[in-house]
Structure formats: C-alpha cells, structure tokens
Amino acid sequence: MEKHPLNISTPSCVQHAILIQKYRQHRGADVRRLVLLHGAGVAGETTWMYLVNYLEEWDEILIPDFAGMGGKSRFLDIHQPAINDYARQIQELLIRLEWHSIDIAGYSFGGMVTHGLMEGGVNIRCAYLIEPAMLFSDQADQLKEKARQYRDIAQQLIHGESGQDIFIRFLDSVSPQRINNETADRMTVKRLRANSEGFARSLQAVSDEIEQRGDYFLQWTAPWPGVSFVGGLTPAFMHQRHQRLAQESSDWSYESVPSSDHSLVFTKPRTIAAVMNRHRARMADSDGQ
C-alpha cells in the first residue's frame, strides 16, 4: 500500500487529500476507486486510516479533507459554505484527478455531502453511509430539533466560544447513549477544537440543509446500491429510519454495528470494512466490475 499526499488548487478551493494505492486488489480491466468523506471537524486521514487497512476490494482510495477541516484545505471566497459548496469542492477534485466513476463512503456530515454529489451528477456506482447526518430520524420533529441543536452549537463557536462544554454538547447530541469514557471524549474534543472554525461552518451547513429540506430527507430513498451502518448504541429512531431506507430502496441494506455509537468509524473499522468488502465483491460477481 502506498500513500501519497495531494495538494491541489481547484476553482473554489485549495485542496488537501491523501491518495492510497493498493497493489491491484482485483484483475478487472477498470481501476476500482473509492472516495472516503469524513465527518464534521475531524480530518480525513484521522477518520479513515484504520478502516483503510482492512479494505480489500479497491485499487485506489481517495481521502479528501473538507475545506477548513484538515491540512491547508480552504475555500477561496466562501464565508459560510452550504452543503452544495462542499459537494462542489469534492467534485472539482474528482475532475482534476479524472476520476469519472466512483464508489463512495460518507460518515455523518460526509454522508450528507455524498447526497450532494449525487445531485451534482457525479457517477456513483455504490455508496456506504455511516450514520449520515440527513438520516438521523424518520420523525420530522426530531430532525428539526437536531437542526436546532447544530445551529446553536455552530453559532456559539462562530462567536468565539471554545470551552470543552460546547464540544461535549455536540457529543451528547450525536452519541447520547455512548459508554462513559472521559479519555475518549477528551481526545475527540481535542480533534474538534483543532478545526473549530471549519467544524462550526459544517454544522451550520447541516442545520441549514435539514431546515430547508427536512421533508425531502424523511422520504429519501437511495438511487444506488449500498449499505447503511448504524451503531448498536445509537437511539432506536435512527435504526428505524435506516431499516425503512433498506425496505424502500431498490438495492440497499442496513447494518447495526454492535457495541458502538456515533464513533463507530473509529471504534469498529474492521467490522465496517468487512461488510464493505463483501458487498463490493458481490457487486463484482454480478456485474463483472
């Protein structure tokens, strides 16, 4: 496995990403490519590298940093980005790299940007959504309350508050039933605080998107093959939303990941990667790619 840092300027953004090249995991004619989109505030490499070690079905893996959330990645002239701005950032990077067809995994905020890429016309072959922000619940009032919580936290950070309590409020919001672990909480707070401005802007973007399109997300179904992952300790209403997503989408499945909460991408990388590998191998068996 080779790891290459990328520093690229695109029309809207100075970009930083990591490109992982595996030693041709399969022998098909096409290079199989996967994009991994991180959550709010914590950079891509920190989020994904444990999981990357267990992936076996892709030849190249791209791990971008969203603007303001890792490396020197930043927007050139956008003060408060919307979800479609983050999606455009990633689309510009894909165009520069000439990645015309991709598989994609989106964690939390990255799951919402994955949806934005779909709307932008990116050719996505299959998708893996890990507790995506827009599918928090199948109840409108809970989705609206989540948007309000994110907006309040974002505004406090934007206006200069940086105490540990505000970050703990975020953790309580996304992982209300997490196992008590002060060391893990301190590590997460440290990571979020390191990119607090980008973290705040991404939370504001999620809040705006949910407030504007909540009814749409309540009824959304997946247009591609894929899998949802939800932590076993995550509240039941998120499980219910993803169970319904699997039932109503044409080629989608749902996985509950035992003994995990919203931090499952960090704590259960082997489990998630194993499901992704099996799913992608089955796709290859059925369509030859």
pLDDT tens per residue, the chain (289 residues)?
A: 899 999 999 999 999 999 999 976 565 668 999 999 999 999 999 999 999 999 999 999 999 999 999 988 999 999 999 999 999 999 999 999 999 999 999 999 999 999 999 999 999 999 999 999 999 999 999 999 999 999 999 999 999 988 999 999 999 999 998 988 899 999 999 999 999 999 999 999 999 999 999 999 999 999 999 999 999 999 999 999 999 999 999 999 999 999 999 999 999 999 999 999 999 999 987 775 6
Q: What pLDDT does residue 181 have?
A: 87
**Enclosing H/E stretch for 9:** strand 2-10
Measured CA to CA, the distance from residue 44 to residue 62 in angstroms comes to 9
Note whether 89 and 68 are within 8 A (CB). Answer: no
User: Is residue 225 a contact partner of residue 278, using CB atoms and an 8 Å limit?
Assistant: no
Domains, the chain? 2-138+219-287 (3.40.50.1820)
How many other CB atoms are found less than 10 A from the CB of residue 258?
Answer: 11
Can you tell me the distance from the alpha carbon of 113 to that of 110, in angstroms, rounded to the nearest whole number?
Answer: 5
> What's the pLDDT at 30?
81
Give me the pLDDT at residue 56, please: 95
In this structure, what DSSP letter does residue 98 have?
T
What's the CA gap between 131 and 271, in Å, rounded? 15
The reported pLDDT for the residue numbered 162 is 85
Please compute, for residue 244, the number of CA atoms within 13 A of its CA located in the half-sphere on the CB side. 16
Helix (H) or strand (E) holding 110: helix 109-119
CA 97 to centroid of chain Cα atoms: 20
Tell me, what's the pLDDT at 208?
98
Q: Residue 286: its pLDDT value, please?
A: 75
Looking at residue 261, what is its pLDDT?
Answer: 96
Nearest to 222 by CA among 240, 254, 245: 245
pTM of the complete model beyond 0.85: yes
Q: Specify the 3-state DSSP secondary structure of 252.
A: strand
| Residue 90, both tokens | 């990633």
Amino acid in position 246:
A
**The tokens of 286 are what?**
């059925």
